[in-house]
A and B are shown apart, each in its own frame.
Chain A
Amino acid sequence: MSFIKAEKISYSYPVFEDTDEFENKKKTEDKPAVDPKARGEKALKEITLEVKQGQFLCILGRNGSGKSTFAKHLNALLLPTEGTVWVDDIDTKSEEQVWTIRKSVGMVFQNPDNQIIGSIVDEDVAFGLENLAVPSEQIQKDVTSALEGVGMSDYAKYSPNKLSGGQKQRVAVAGVLAMAPKCIVLDESTAMLDPRGRREVMETVKRLNKEMGITIISITHFMEETLDADYIYVMHKGKIALQGTPKEIFSRGTELYTLGLWFPQIYHLAYVLRQKGLDIPEDVIHADELKQALENLKKK
């Protein structure tokens, strides 16, 4: 069953007639405004896609290809200029349902320091629930289980500024998780993290996906993070340029370079070995698969 459906959506950022209007708008509204000089070009062009409940999806593409603009359409932070987005069969344009949509699709952004507001971890996680006037006993329960969900129970009473980047991002995930979402969108949530932090966050969301069936949509520049995805969309200049399973995407070979992507290291190694004449299947992307392929060579 499709959980999110986007049908021919296009989006243009608002354009203002003169610079003053632009400056004022920038100051008074938190909606993104583009410089009037950069007018014209659509950020999204007729994007159609479906996300099934429980999928682990990745979106790749160059800086400026429209990934984040698209992500903001998934919980009505932005509304399409043309076309329609449905979340759980609700049109994101229906104003009275906007909170239902935002409850079911939560977002985690890039900078851990910009999205934590509480001075104690559990207060931060409770923030969304408090805004919905949930009874405090229920909040307590939800916060406890959300922190458990991301493996941060021991840090409930910590000040967020004592946490590492990876821990802060897991707290941000817990804040979303406390709202019992059906889907979590990660907009480059690992970009600023060290290797351990990146691993922690990815393992956490993969577990939430497997154990709780939460749909995960991850925007990333790290090719390695996409290898276990169910499906990948590659965006280019506001359009979907490629789509498929990780094996399908990476077996496109050097076509990926033109889209600004890179090979994950193991696939890259397999690719070079093939070029040097070794008989390695085209769809090898995981280390254990390459190991197996090399063992098979020995047997022959």
Chain B
Amino acid sequence: MIIKLEDVNYIYNPGTVEEVTAVSDANLELGGDSFTAIIGSTGSGKSTLIQMLNGLLEPASGQITYDGVPIYKKGKLNKEEKKALRQLRCRVGLVFQYPEYQLFEETVLKDVCYGPKNLGFSKEEQEEKARAALAAVGASEELFEKSPFEISGGEKRRVAIAGVLAMEPEVLILDEPTAGLDPLGKSQLLELLKKYHEEKHVAIILVSHSMEEVAQYADRVIAMSKSKIVLDGSTEDVFAHRAELEEIGLGVPEVCAFTQSIGLGDVLTVEEAAEKIMQVYGNV
């Protein structure tokens, strides 16, 4: 599925002294078969942008479509139209920052059933979808009947993500899903997302502050600064713009800075850096 944004703007507190443009003139095509990362410093507009992608925030102007169908309609809508829009927007799942704070049910399984339940699925279907989603995030069977409040931090995070996966979105957006996790928890979660992306062909849109994880997992990177999209391209292309990235408060992965400093150009991962270095120093 393709999410298309045409001349999208978003303004907080319009018409007041507090007026702030959070997203200006965004033109993008997202989704497809891509693992896309959105990077940008705090306040650059990333979170506003992703909230518009599944209908949580309505653009001040411009249009957002899924495969050509608009996800916002002006004017007063009847019940049927509202329902149709809601269903349409369910094709895109959004996982907020620290999603584990939103766990609320008595058991892990019930919590993950909540989404499919709201979509009107039968009890059997809810459970089936919830079990599949929990399996996808690597949650073992023995967790299912536990209270979401007695499992570990990393497990909570993954259960909360399963809650969105259970709605079977075609595009999955995650806002800093690894924030606060320990290194092992981070890499486990990213590996799960990668696997889900590859096996189910679900497009991933990842908002992240970690240049290292972006370089390792994304195939496309969009950089935002001061409400504008300033860089958009393949991961290699974007990280080749080190000066621009540093100017907007970001940077390149440490290994990339290192290979540049010894005249070996850009790399994205430790493995790539090692290969380049071996080519030069391997036969010394």
Using CB atoms and an 8 Å cutoff, list the residues of chain A in contact with chain B: 35, 37-38, 61-64, 110, 164-166, 188, 191-198, 221, 223-224, 257, 260-262, 264-266, 268-269, 272-273, 276-278, 287, 290-291, 294, 297-298, 300
Contacts and interface: CB of A to CB of B under 8 A. Distances in A.
Nearest to B259: A269
A42 B250 CA distance: 41
A298 B86 CA distance: 64
7 contacts: A35-B150, A61-B182, A194-B249, A261-B184, A262-B186, A265-B212, A265-B254
A63 B185 contact: yes
B51 interface: no
Given A269-B273, A278-B282, A298-B284, A224 B254 contact: yes
A110 B251 contact: no
A223 B210 CA distance: 12
Query: Which of the four size classes fits the interface of chain B?
Result: 35 or more
A165 B185 CA distance: 24
Contact of B254 (A63, A191, A287): A287
B249 A64 contact: no
Given A196-B250, A221-B180, A269-B277, 13 more contacts: A62-B154, A63-B185, A165-B42, A196-B249, A198-B209, A260-B182, A261-B183, A261-B184, A273-B274, A273-B278, A278-B278, A287-B258, A298-B281
Interface in B252-280: 253-255, 257-258, 261-262, 270-271, 273-274, 277-278
A293 B154 CA distance: 38
B127 to A, nearest CB: 23
Interface in B199-258: 209, 211-212, 249-251, 253-255, 257-258
Nearest to B256: A265
A195 B250 contact: yes
B69 interface: no
Contacts of A287: 254, 257-258, 261
B60 interface: no
A224 B255 CA distance: 12
Contacts of B261: 287, 291
B181 interface: yes
B270 A265 contact: yes
Contacts of B274: 269, 272-273, 276
Contacts of B184: 62, 257, 260-262
Contacts of A166: 42
Contacts of B212: 265
Given A223-B183, A294-B281, A300-B284, A269 B258 contact: yes
Nearest to A257: B184
Given A268-B270, A294-B262, A188 B182 contact: no
